[in-house]
């Protein structure tokens, strides 16, 4: 009967035990390089490579069982049977597959095929989960990008509003203080005009200092308010 071509893992070693290897004679020793040749042939040092991440350990390798030193089953066969097996390779393979050692190898090969098939199914299942996770990650990234753009737009709007409100508040405060200084200067002038008699030198100097100080305060506050209003706000007019 013909086999399926998968013989035992030690069947090929039966006819290889008698072959001997002879070492080839060593050739002549290479000539010694001179100092100039060595310096000329010296290669530049290799560029440093970036550190590589540690690789996972390789899976354990399946050890091939060694061929048995003797087969007691052969000693129970007749010379005709031995000659038949020697002449018929298919019959020899069938006979070898019936041995306990060969059956163990075949069983182990079957187990390995089943393990590989199970690993392949697990990988395919994990691949589907990975595709779903990648799709969810892309959707989350897109949603996060849209939300980030919306938040940045809100922040820009808030900053613009704060700048406008701050500028307008300062403009109003400066205009109010300028108006208060103008009112105080007018009050000082009215008091001086309504005073009876003639002012002496001290009273005149005091009036002049107060009036000039209030006018200066009014004008610099009004100038600052006008400068801030030039950025877009309407600066109030102070008489």
Name the stretches of the chain with pLDDT < 70.
1-47, 50, 53, 56, 59, 62, 69, 164-168, 229-239
Sequential DSSP letters for 41-88: HPPPPPPPPPPPPPPPPPPPPPPPPPPPS--HHHHTS-HHHHHHHHH-
Cβ atoms of residues 185 and 218 within 8 Å: yes
| 197-237 pLDDT, tens digit each | 787 888 888 888 988 999 899 888 888 878 776 655 444 44
């Amino acid at each position: 009967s013909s086999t399926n071509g998968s013989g035992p893992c030690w069947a090929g070693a039966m006819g290889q035990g008698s072959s001997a290897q002879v070492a080839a004679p060593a050739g002549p020793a290479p000539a010694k390089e001179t100092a100039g040749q060595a310096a000329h042939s010296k290669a530049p040092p290799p560029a440093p490579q970036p550190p590589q991440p540690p690789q996972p350990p390789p899976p354990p390798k399946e050890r091939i069982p060694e061929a048995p030193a003797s087969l007691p089953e052969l000693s129970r066969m007749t010379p005709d049977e031995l000659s038949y097996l020697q002449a018929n390779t298919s019959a020899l393979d069938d006979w070898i597959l019936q041995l306990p050692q060969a059956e163990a190898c075949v069983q182990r090969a079957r187990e390995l095929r089943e393990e590989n098939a199970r690993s392949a199914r697990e990988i395919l299942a994990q691949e589907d989960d990975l595709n779903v996770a990648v799709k969810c990650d892309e959707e989350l990234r897109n949603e996060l990008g849209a939300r980030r753009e919306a938040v940045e737009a809100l922040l820009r709007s808030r900053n613009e509003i704060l700048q406008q409100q701050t500028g307008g508040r300062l403009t109003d405060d400066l205009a109010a203080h300028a108006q208060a200084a103008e009112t105080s200067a007018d009050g000082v002038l009215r008091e001086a005009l309504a005073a009876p008699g003639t002012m002496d030198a001290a009273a005149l100097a005091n009036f002049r200092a107060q009036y000039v100080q209030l006018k200066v305060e009014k004008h610099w506050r009004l100038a600052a308010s006008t400068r801030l209003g030039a950025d877009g706000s309407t600066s109030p007019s102070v008489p």
